[in-house]
Chains A and B, each alone.
Chain A
Amino acid sequence: MSKQKLVIIGNGMVGHRFIEDFVEKADLDKFEITAFCEEPRVAYDRVHLSSYFSHHTADELSLVKEGFYEKHNINVLIGERALTINRQEKVIHSQTGRAVYYDKLVMATGSYPWVPDIKGNESKDCFVYRTIEDLNAIEATARRSKNGVVVGGGLLGLEAAGALKALGVETHVIEFAPVLMAEQLDQQGGQMLRRKIESIGVNVHTGKNTKEIIVGGEKSRNTMKFADGSELEVDFIVFSTGIRPQDKLAKQCGLATARRGGISINNQCETSDPDIYAIGECASWNEKFFGLVAPGYNMAKVAVDNILGRDNEFSGADMSAKLKLLGVDVGSIGDANGRTPDCKSYVYLDENSSVYKRIIVSQDGKRLLGAVLVGDTESYSDLLQYTLNDIELPKHPDSLILPAHAGAKTGGLGVDALPETAQVCSCFDVKKSDIADAVAAGHTTIGAVKMETGAGTGCGGCVPLITQVLNAELAKQGVEVKNHLCEHFEYSRQELFHLIRIEGIKTFKELLEKYGKGYGCEVCKPTVGSILASCWSDYILSSDNNGLQDTNDIFLGNMQKDGTYSVIPRMAGGEVTPKGLAAVAKVAEQYELYTKITGAQRIGLFGAHKSDLPDIWSQLIEAGFETGQAYAKALRMVKTCVGSTWCRFGVQDSVGLGVELENRYKGLRTPHKMKFGVSGCTRECAEAQGKDVGIIATDSGWNLYVCGNGGMKPQHAELLASDLDKQTLVKYLDRFMMFYVRTADKLTRTSVWLQNLSGGIDYLKEVIVDNKLGINEQLEKEMAQSIADYQCEWTATLSDQEQLQRFAHFINSDQQDDNVVFTPEREQKRPAFIEEKAPTYNISLEEV
């Protein structure tokens, strides 16, 4: 039997989803699969397209797991557009002249941005916002522009406006209708949104009908002319005036199309030709097309099932949405404009904090029909569940949108009220019962549940709800969610931190007596030691806490594989004077230390005997150095580029800032080691976005990125705030550092900490920038104290005779460890391998 030929036109979000689903369900030996992919790369996550501006890697957006198509023998024709379909011969021709025959054809051609017929709209300063190529072009133009305008104040338009703002140009939004987001919001909601957006510096012009764009202007490259006679000068224009289904091919081959555009499909997603399916934004069902990804994913499933002879029908889609546009929370559910006959509304308006909420309920007050939320979308998922699952409203429906202080019932709907069939993830159609099953099967973390069910891996909007379901299920099964430090403390690091601080606990013993049990271990001792050091800035060697520290912290050096130590003096920002270099060279020569530049822009000396450390350090301190804390869970260093002082591209003094920050935060004990980076311009030579704290100079200040990581699990840092002056930057950093010190679990780098912080970067912004928890003053005070208490640990040690005694290798002899043996290599030395050591030593080893 020859294989059935299955062809997919379009490798966007839905086309790819179709293939994934097909691979999972079908016997692939029976099919030969080909996909046309017009864009220069395979499917990527268009929903998160705007994030491309912050990370600039197409890979990050890709939806296709490496090797997926190859593994399943799927032939994807990248960069190839299907040009014609011949339905009699069942053959498709592409723009390269290739002919591909099909038995079944699936059209997933998406939609295209529609641009109104305005004179001048074909200028090279006009753009649309749909593909990675569009974004590249917009960014390149923004770089040489002062201002930009987005035509279209809908959902996508505002997202584009957010992107322009982030690119640093003065941003305008032009809307034809009298309000923003007329599709999703009512008039009052639109007005509230407008006020909020204007307050962050975006200029909004509503009720404007663009007539013409002409080249030239007094201050900018182009001038827009409006029907009311007014004008606006702008450098470039992004059109976001709606989308139209891409049905050109369907028309060419004579398939039925809908009046308002789109390839007509039935409930099985079949077009007027039973061998051709259409799915995603190009399809029109009951004269409606859907500009969201979730309905497209549903269609993909339906089409797969029907091709494989299984029953499944498409039954429409919910168009509710919750988003953050230009930093404003917006939610829209169902009949947001209250168009259902005889419906009634409840409205809550708080002009003081710019919050507007409206719910639309049925005449009998028992069913929720729709909702509009601006400024506060906390109740979104509860409200959505009321409409999706037709749950009866409480007696006073307004309690759902009132704030707690006005008598709202707290706790919300609660996941227990949801029926088992409730859909919690609409992108992947995952039900509450699916999550319960996954938990029962042993997937007990949010990450595991996401992997198992796919829930929360689309738009991500449902993650809080999944977490609730997960926790409720765990509680039901009697599973406790534990993050106890170890067997000696039934508390998390964060809880212990608060106990230590609140009760003023100064020693491990005291803490163990009050809150722990047993003797302690290699996990709790250093963790508590680090908390004590961050809380009380006590000299890390104080004898009470001696037994708590890892060897690195006790002997103030990083232990190497042979038991010797490294010596790394601080060279803040990577600066070192020739005189300093000479001093380093001198001790390195005297003690025959292996010398290299470390990955952290400073010089490391390796192979020092423990007993030589005090002498080595006293010479270095004499020469003006201090400890680099390379041994500690603390700020290691601030990597800097040369910056504006020397570099011809630099816009700010990155070295100056780096030196200042390194000196500010040195010595502070943190849950894990920390690295900073500062770049003097967007070329980012310091690779700051791979650091726990990354700072990049802009024309008007500094952009602050946090929680990046190089090393084992590279992670791009996320933007916390932009265009900060130095004072604000330092203030935010003080808060950020202390908040991390306070709340992170043991040995957790900032990147992992952020991943586990529910609410992620948005929550962090609320804490650090908006003072959501009201603790910022406290955090700043704690940081000020820690800075005031700083001392160089080596200087302190050298003046303490008792401590110095402990550096001898033997307590009862002056000899050095004869098992430390070196072998020459590249004009320096390295630890000898076992077989290179003296034979006598080998023999005695056998006894061990």
Chain B
Amino acid sequence: MSSWIKVCELKNIYPATGVCALVDGKQVAVFRPSDEEQVYAINNMDPFARANVLSRGLICQHQEQLWVASPLKKQRFNLLDGSCLENSEVSVEAYKARVSDGFVEVHL
């Protein structure tokens, strides 16, 4: 089952924003924090509001790590492991992500 799935070209994601990709029936939020070739992927659903919105949140830095702030109520989720800064009981799934040959790939 371990395979990397191509999602889109890197240039289709503006630096400092995220997009939502449909991967194997799952909604995956993919973030590109800067103009470099670094990307992150977590589940797109905000577990508090149960709405598919995380890809539309702002990428932010706290405690030296990168997070996304939900556009609904601003809870922050870690881009590496999906943990929630406000509530350690809550987290979202995090996935591996990489750039290869100018394409963004996700590993569920």
Q: A residues engaging B (CB < 8 A)? A: 487-488, 518-523, 525-526, 543, 546-548, 550-552, 554-555, 559, 561-563, 805-806, 809-813, 815, 817, 819-820, 834, 845, 847-848
Contact = CB atoms under 8 A, between A and B. Distances in A.
20 contacts: A519-B59, A519-B60, A519-B61, A520-B60, A522-B58, A526-B58, A546-B16, A547-B14, A547-B15, A547-B17, A547-B59, A551-B58, A559-B53, A561-B49, A811-B21, A812-B7, A812-B21, A819-B27, A819-B51, A820-B52
Contacts of A525: 58, 60
Nearest to B57: A551
Nearest to B15: A547
Contacts of A521: 58, 60-62, 69
Given A519-B59, A522-B58, A817-B52, 13 more contacts: A525-B58, A547-B59, A551-B58, A555-B56, A559-B56, A559-B71, A561-B51, A563-B51, A806-B19, A810-B22, A811-B7, A811-B12, A812-B8
B66 interface: yes
B92 interface: yes
Contacts of B78: none
Contacts of A562: 49, 51
B37 interface: no
Contact of B76 (A522, A806, A845): A522
Contact of B45 (A520, A548, A819): A819
A817 to B, nearest CB: 5
B93 A848 contact: yes
Contact of A561 (B21, B59, B72): B72
A547 B58 contact: yes
A545 to B, nearest CB: 9
Interface in B63-101: 66, 69, 71-72, 74, 76, 92-93
B72 A546 contact: no
B58 A563 contact: no
B60 A551 contact: no
A563 B52 contact: yes
Given A520-B60, A521-B60, A561-B72, A848 B92 contact: yes
Contacts of B8: 811-812
Nearest to A833: B50
A834 B60 contact: no
Nearest to B12: A811
A550 B73 CA distance: 12
Contacts of B69: 521-522
A805 B92 CA distance: 27
Contacts of B12: 805, 811
Contacts of B92: 848
Interface of B: 7-8, 12-17, 19-22, 27, 30, 33-34, 43, 45, 47, 49-53, 56-62, 66, 69, 71-72, 74, 76, 92-93
Among the interface residues A550, A552, A845, which one has the most CB atoms of the partner chain B within 10 A? A550
B60 A813 contact: no
A815 B22 contact: yes
Given A522-B69, A811-B8, A845-B50, A547 B16 contact: yes
B83 to A, nearest CB: 14
B55 to A, nearest CB: 9
Nearest to B61: A519
A684 B74 CA distance: 38
Interface centre among A487, A561, A810, by most B CB within 10 Å? A810
Contacts of A546: 14, 16-17
A551 B52 contact: no
Contacts of A806: 14, 19
A540 B42 CA distance: 27
A810 B21 contact: yes
A507 to B, nearest CB: 11
Nearest to A831: B51
Contact of B53 (A488, A522, A543, A551): A551
Nearest to B32: A547
A562 B59 CA distance: 21
A550 B58 contact: yes
A546 B35 CA distance: 13
A830 to B, nearest CB: 14
A488 B8 CA distance: 32
Contacts of A523: 60
A556 to B, nearest CB: 13
Which of B33, B52, B76 lies at the interface centre, i.e. has the most chain A CB atoms within 10 A of its CB?
Answer: B52
A519 B12 CA distance: 21
Contacts of B14: 543, 546-547, 806
Contacts of A552: 71
Contacts of B62: 487, 521
Given A810-B20, A811-B12, A520 B72 contact: no
Contacts of A555: 56
Tell me which of B13, B60, B66 has the highest count of chain A C-beta atoms within 10 A of its own C-beta: B60
A167 B20 CA distance: 61
Contacts of B16: 546-548
A806 B93 CA distance: 24
B66 A519 contact: yes
Contacts of A488: 61
Contacts of A834: 50
Contacts of A819: 27, 45, 50-52
A548 B57 CA distance: 10
A845 B50 CA distance: 8
Contact of B19 (A811, A817, A820, A845): A811
Contacts of B49: 561-562
Contacts of B43: 848
Contacts of A811: 7-8, 12-13, 19-21, 30
Nearest to B90: A848
B56 A554 contact: yes
A40 to B, nearest CB: 47
Contacts of B51: 561-563, 819
Contacts of A817: 27, 52
B40 to A, nearest CB: 13
B36 to A, nearest CB: 12
Contacts of B58: 521-522, 525-526, 547-548, 550-551
A848 B21 contact: no
Contacts of B45: 819, 845, 848
Nearest to A522: B69
A555 B30 CA distance: 18
A522 B60 contact: yes
A543 B11 CA distance: 12
A809 B20 CA distance: 7
Contacts of B76: 522
A363 B74 CA distance: 69
Nearest to B82: A848
